[in-house]
Chains A and B, each alone.
Chain A
Amino acid sequence: MKISLWIFSERSYSNNDIKKTALYDFHKKNEGKMVPFAGYLMPVKYADSITTSHLHTRKLCSLFDVSHMLQTKIYGKHKKKFMERICVTDVESMGKGKSALSLFVDDETGGILDDLIITNTDEDYLYMVTNASCKEQDMKILTEQQEIFKSSGHDITLEFLDSKDQSLLALQGPGSMSVLQKLVSSIDLSKLYFMDSSTATVCGVPDCRINRCGYTGEDGFEISVPSSRVEMIAESFVANDSVKLAGLGARDTLRLEAGMCLYGSDISRETTPVEAALVWTISRKRRDEKRFPGASIILKQLTEGVQRKRVGLIQKEQGAPVRGGAVIFGGDGQKIGSVTSGCPSPSLLQNIAMGYVDSKFAKNGTEVQVAVRGNKISMVVTKMPFVKSNYYSKPN
């Protein structure tokens, strides 16, 4: 058999090219099975199976090393105006200590260049986490825009944080707050709500940044810490019996159950926010002003509609799971789209997927067929998330 260790085909890296996060030795020590992902050697799983790890995250909590992602700080008097040139969020109106899911969009095509979390910190900078797989592109875009912006007399400074210096941990699951609170002295996490951000002292290390967000649909935190102390902090987390380590495998099944996109699979520069059903990330004010990257295409698509839409698919019967690339057919056997991600859902014990279909077939409840190795599998267009999200939101 051809063993597929990981669903993403990676271009090959020479040993010199591939990077390791500061937790590489820690992963190896904890039986992490390392695979190349976005230029880094990352654990796809540890001793537990992906299913076990997935279910543990939904029940208690798991620690993920996500230091391969790009962390950036943006300083300067015009930092908000600068970010609005590139992303679709109303950064000017963001409250202090608030984060938002945002998109970089190609102004000419309306295609999505990356998805990201942007934070208006209560200090003198914006903080941003973007995808590891888009690192080179994002740094290029930001640097080029910085030059243009500066030359027109604006005040802006970028600081890209190298994974050698700054690491990022994600603690995800319903047990996350109680685990983290024991190790955080300076803030009360019960007052930090979903998409809030604060600095805090974590395991005695000052000025760590805690964002209450994640990529699993569960309550959880992303914690930015100095790489020199990350191993000690990770050890302190896993010393708590309710915390287990989880890798890219569980991260992928968790995010798919949560209906979240993986950049490069479910969204790319070939898809617009309208097709990807991500229009909600475009702030109302910026839509009203008709000024955001890709506005001309996106506003036109909002009025006239789009040919295809991103939908969730669920398989009612047991059978082979469908994977990215599988062709989707309509009732008359005509091709109507393709799958972009798919897996057996460990929580639902049903096969789930997302993909793009002709807009006429995008209505929930529509039955479609998906080709897998010559067979056709029946699936139903389904509202996402597949598994109800469980965020710690501020009571209304």
Chain B
Amino acid sequence: MFSSKVIGITKITRCTWTNMNNVQMLLTNSMRFSTSSIKDRYYTDKHEWIDVNNKIGTVGISHYAQDALGDVVYAELPAVGTEVKIKDECGALESVKAASELYSPVSGKVVEINSLVETKPALINQSCYKDGWLFKLELSSEEEISNLMNEEQYGEFIKQDHS
């Protein structure tokens, strides 16, 4: 199960993006017995997620992260046009209790930010995978995705994570 998924990811990085659907099917097959239903979202060990579509990656924070943070009251996002490298600090989310820095999951250029979460940061808690996305990146290296965790690997990771 585990190895087949690794193969799946490797294939993503090798194939063209137009073939994504086939790879997704492959992944879906390999994940048939998994409880997870999310196929194309990848996670960092810092709890950001990225969903790549035609070289554009949408970035947000995971459900686990938003739950750990509590009520987000302020979102500081990178400016559109900013070039970021993988793991660069590129913003911060403030909750009632503390500030938490955001890191870019991959390298690229910021092409869009979700200005809705700037005016309504609670969206990050209410809908961290949809309406509460943070920014979009034009990826400079699609290979970097292969270093990230898929849903199941991330699920295992947060079981052990006590950060």
Contacts and interface: CB of A to CB of B under 8 A. Distances in A.
B71 A49 contact: yes
Interface in B1-22: none
B96 A50 contact: yes
A39 interface: no
B96 A3 contact: no
Given A2-B163, A249-B96, A249-B97, A344 B65 contact: no
A275 interface: no
A320 B94 contact: yes
A4 interface: yes
A2 B96 contact: no
A3 B163 contact: yes
Interface in B84-105: 92-103
Contacts of A176: none
A252 interface: yes
Q: Which of A2, A49, A320, A373 is the most central at the interface, judged by chain B CB atoms within 10 Å of its CB?
A: A2
Contacts of B70: 45, 49-51, 249
A348 interface: no
- Count class of interface residues, chain B: 20 to 34
A7 B97 contact: yes
A168 interface: no
A2 B96 CA distance: 15
State the majority secondary structure of interface residues on A: loop
Contacts of A321: 73-74, 94, 99
A2 B76 contact: no
B76 A3 contact: no
B136 interface: no
Interface in A296-343: 318-321, 323, 343
B98 A323 contact: yes
Interface residues of A, number: 25
Given A6-B97, A6-B98, A51-B96, A1 B73 contact: no
Interface string A276-311: 000000000000000000000000000000000000
B149 interface: no
Given A3-B47, A51-B71, A320 B92 contact: yes
Contacts of B93: 1
Contacts of A343: 96-97
A197 interface: no
Given A50-B70, A321-B73, A373-B76, A1 B101 contact: yes
Interface in B112-138: none
Interface string A15-59: 000000000000000000000000000001100011100100000
A338 to B, nearest CB: 16
Given A7-B98, A321-B94, A373-B92, A1 B61 contact: yes
B46 interface: yes
Nearest to A320: B74
A5 B98 contact: yes
B65 A1 contact: yes
B101 A346 contact: no
A51 to B, nearest CB: 5
A44 B70 CA distance: 11
Contacts of A49: 70-71, 96
Contacts of A7: 97-98
Contacts of B100: 1-4
Contact of A344 (B68, B73, B103): B73
A343 B100 CA distance: 13
B48 A1 contact: yes
Contacts of A253: 96-97
B48 A44 contact: no
Interface string B45-78: 0111000000000000100010011110110100
A50 B71 CA distance: 8
Contacts of B76: 320, 373
14 contacts: A1-B47, A1-B93, A2-B46, A3-B65, A5-B97, A5-B98, A5-B163, A51-B70, A51-B71, A54-B96, A318-B74, A321-B74, A343-B96, A344-B96
Given A7-B97, A344-B94, 11 more contacts: A5-B163, A50-B71, A252-B97, A253-B97, A318-B74, A320-B99, A321-B73, A321-B74, A321-B94, A343-B96, A344-B96
Interface of A: 1-7, 44-45, 49-51, 54, 249, 252-253, 318-321, 323, 343-344, 346, 373
